[in-house]
Amino acid sequence: MIVERTAIPDVLVITPARFGDDRGFFSESWSARKMAEHGLDTLFVQDNHSFSAKAGTVRGLHFQSPPHAQAKLVRCGRGRLFDVVVDIRRGSPTYGKWVGEELSFENGKQLFVPVGFLHGFVTREDGTEIVYKCSDYYAPDCDGAVRYDDPDIGIDWKLGDSVPVLSGKDAAAPLLRDLQNPFVFEGAVQ
Ligand SMILES: Cc1cn([C@H]2C[C@H](O)[C@@H](COP(=O)(O)OP(=O)(O)O[C@H]3O[C@@H](C)C(=O)[C@@H](O)[C@H]3O)O2)c(=O)[nH]c1=O
C-alpha cells in the first residue's frame, strides 16, 4: 500500500497493492491494520456506492455537519472520475483550497477525505461507479452542500463547454461565503 500526501497534507492518496495473475488481480481495498501502520485510525461505519449513467455528472460539493461529520475513503469501482475535496476548516492554513485526483478502476487509487472538507466528483466516463467508506452514518438533518462552481473556490472540473448533470439539490446549493460553516481547524489530522 502506497500512501502519499497531497498539496493539502491531511488529504491522502492511498494505492493498495494489486496482485495480478492470469485471472486478473486481487487487492485488499481496505485494511484497518495497514491503515493503522500509516497512522490512520478512522473508524468507518457505512459504505456507500453510487452509479452515474453519464460522463459529466457532478455530485457535490457535500458535507455532513457535527455531530455527524464524516471522514471518507473514496475509490472508483468502475469507469473513471475526478474526485475533489475542499478544506473548509476555519483557521486552517489551507482554508478554501481544493485538491483533485483522478480515481479509476484502472489506477485503483483511493482518496482519504478528513472531517472538515467538502467532497464532490465529476464522472469522466458513462456508467461510472464510486464506492466510499464513511466514519459516521447518514444524517439528513446534518446534510449540507456548496455550489460545485463557487468562484471563490475555483475548481477546474475540466468540463469544457459541456453542462454537467446535477441534482436539484446541488443546482440550488449556496456559495461557501454564505454557508453557516460548522468546521474549525483543530490541528493537522495526522
Ligand atoms: C448520502 C446518502 C443519501 N441517501 C439517500 C438520500 C437520497 O434519497 C438519495 C440520494 O442522495 P444524494 O442526492 O445526497 O446523493 P449524492 O449526491 O450521491 O450524495 C453523495 O455525494 C458525494 C459527493 C458524497 O460525498 C456523499 O457524502 C453524498 O453526499 O440517497 C441515503 O439514504 N444515505 C446516504 O448516506
Nearest Cα to Cα of residue 2 among 108, 119, 117, 74: 108
User: How many Å lie between the centroid of ligand 1 and the Cα of residue 57?
Assistant: 14
Question: How high is the pLDDT of residue 187?
Answer: 83
Per-domain residue ranges of the chain: 2-17+30-178
109 has pLDDT over 70: yes
d(CA 142, CA 82): 25
Paired with 184 in beta bridges are: 90
CA-closest residue to ligand 1 atom 19: 59
Mean pLDDT of the chain: 96
> Is 61 within 8 Å of 173 (Cβ atoms)?
yes
pLDDT tens-place string over residues 58-99:
999 999 999 999 999 999 999 999 999 999 999 999 999 999
132 has pLDDT over 70: yes
Catalytic residues: 62, 132
pLDDT tens-place string over residues 110-122:
999 999 999 999 9
ipTM: 0.98
Shortest-distance atom of ligand 1 to CA 121? 23
Q: Give whole-number Cα distances, 157 to 59, 121, 124, 163, 178, in Å.
A: 12, 9, 10, 11, 22
In words, the CATH class of domain 2-17+30-178 is mainly beta
For residue 133 and ligand 1, the question of a CB distance below 6 A is answered with no
Percent of the chain with pLDDT over 70: 99
Question: How high is the pLDDT of residue 76?
Answer: 98
CA-closest residue to ligand 1 atom 25: 119
What is the pTM assigned to this prediction? Answer: 0.96
- Residue from 46, 47, 50, 72 whose mutation best tests the ligand 1 pocket (most atoms within 8 A of CB): 50
> Is 123 within 8 Å of 80 (Cβ atoms)?
yes
User: How many Å lie between the centroid of ligand 1 and the Cα of residue 13?
Assistant: 23
Confidence of residue 190 (pLDDT cuts 50, 70, 90): low
User: How many Å lie between the centroid of ligand 1 and the Cα of residue 178?
Assistant: 22
189 has pLDDT over 80: no
